[in-house]
Structure 1
């Protein structure tokens, strides 16, 4: 895989330790769940729950286009101006200020805005994958919002999204978009072998087992960025089902370790930020952990992986002539 030039030590990779923004992170996590559930209420069902996710945008996180009646709308967390924007295909819109406020208040303001725009929406208004799961309308516990921390988190997401998309490009089998799963608050991308997987056992807090069974219906090697991993967040990689020999594989870089409790490889964000070439550090981790999963799982790599020479040829051709 072609590795782009790095950005230098700390260039574009802000320092943001979990302990420095845990209150804001937890509040923002719940706000993204509300918005994600609104998308889920209107979008057609896709395999592996791909219809419920958010995506990194230049300004923060977006739902992308959501169908409604004979039109559409979208919702975007603008982490530059600290506003949740709602825009409709008929030209109307609304904004909810992002500031220190309880989840209950954010929930009420968001649904008031949808009502004013004529977007009737019903969600299951309880968070998933967290414990305890306080109903949104009753949550006055989580009420932190530090603008600078959110700005730094947005910069982390931009970097992670950029590099995971580079990694994604070298696979021609079934592969997910790079997408933000609001249940775990992680940015993720999954590659599939094409074979069905044994039913996932579930057991995730406040998440029905059948939800996990749908998410993991087929063999997968998944990677991503999680702001809750370790002291400063981490890039991660795992396989489901985990093939024999995966945990003993040689992965790169040297700071990567396997967490037996979580069942995944972790590369601390701070190790990336301090590396001479952060881009190369991340891509070595993503590639080596995927290779470990594919080799141990006996994936048909010739059929699934893109020939690097073809990508280089396409990249060097220049602009295509007009049709």
Structure 2
């Protein structure tokens, strides 16, 4: 047990949690809470569409429930030797829409990478941690990955609610006459 390492881990996840909660507030559809995966020690939030996704009989009950609808998930993890060896912010869509990895990402340091037969949007932690406004850079990354996946998958554009405001009148969008 290394108290300094655990303290740094807690500090990073706490700061990332605040960014993920703000990002989650920008969507008016079904969204998971910000949650921690004990097996990979990542933290994430998932946005869901209303479209069901059939799972094969071989899928375990947790997978069947987690991916019973189309998802776009965003998060942060410390990396691993098998997939990606450094801390990074990530996003992915399941099922992955065709052409996703050809879509642009922001900021410039973000990129698509292949992971277990699918594509993962990655933004290395070291590329943003010293940015003048790291919070804004991370949100730009999550927004660009979401926009790419949602557009290709045909998700409704009206699910976005900038700043967490769901009332169109309050956002300055005129309502029906």
Do they superpose with TM above 0.5?
A: yes
Deviations 1:13-72 (A, max 9, x none): xxxxxxxxxxxxxxxxxxxxxxxxxxxxxxxxxxxxxxxxxxxxxxxxxxxxxxxxxxxx
Contact 1:253–1:284 (Cα < 8 Å) also in 2: yes
Distance in 2 between the 1:273 and 1:225 partners?
A: 13
- Normalised TM-score (structure 1): 0.47
2:79 is aligned to 228
Unmatched segments (≥5 aa) in structure 1: 1-144, 203-207, 315-323
Distance in 2 between the 1:232 and 1:274 partners?
A: 16
Residue number among 16, 30, 36 corresponding to 1:180 in the alignment: 36
Distance in 2 between the 1:165 and 1:308 partners?
A: 11
Distance 1:201 1:260, change over 3 A: farther
Unmatched segments (≥5 aa) in structure 2: 171-177
Deviation at 1:309, TM superposition (A): 9.2
2:86 corresponds to 1:237: no
2:49 corresponds to 1:193: yes
Q: CA RMSD in A?
A: 2.5
- Normalised TM-score (structure 2): 0.84
Distance in 2 between the 1:180 and 1:238 partners?
A: 16
2:4 corresponds to 1:148: yes
Aligned length: 165
1:43 is aligned to none
Deviation at 1:308, TM superposition (A): 5.2
Deviation at 1:200, TM superposition (A): 6.2
2:67 is aligned to 216
Deviations 1:211-247 (A, max 9, x none): 3122111100000111125443111000000001211
Deviations 1:129-182 (A, max 9, x none): xxxxxxxxxxxxxxxx11101111111101100001111111110001111121
Contact 1:258–1:264 (Cα < 8 Å) also in 2: yes
Residue number among 250, 274, 277 corresponding to 2:104 in the alignment: 250
Contact 1:198–1:241 (Cα < 8 Å) also in 2: no
Deviation at 1:307, TM superposition (A): 5.4
Larger radius of gyration: 1
Contact 2:20–2:75 (Cα < 8 Å) also in 1: yes
2:15 corresponds to 1:164: no
Distance 1:306 1:197, change over 3 A: same
2:150 match: secondary structure: helix
Contact 2:31–2:47 (Cα < 8 Å) also in 1: yes
Deviation at 1:258, TM superposition (A): 1.1
Contact 1:197–1:240 (Cα < 8 Å) also in 2: no
Contact 1:181–1:187 (Cα < 8 Å) also in 2: yes
Distance in 2 between the 1:212 and 1:274 partners?
A: 36
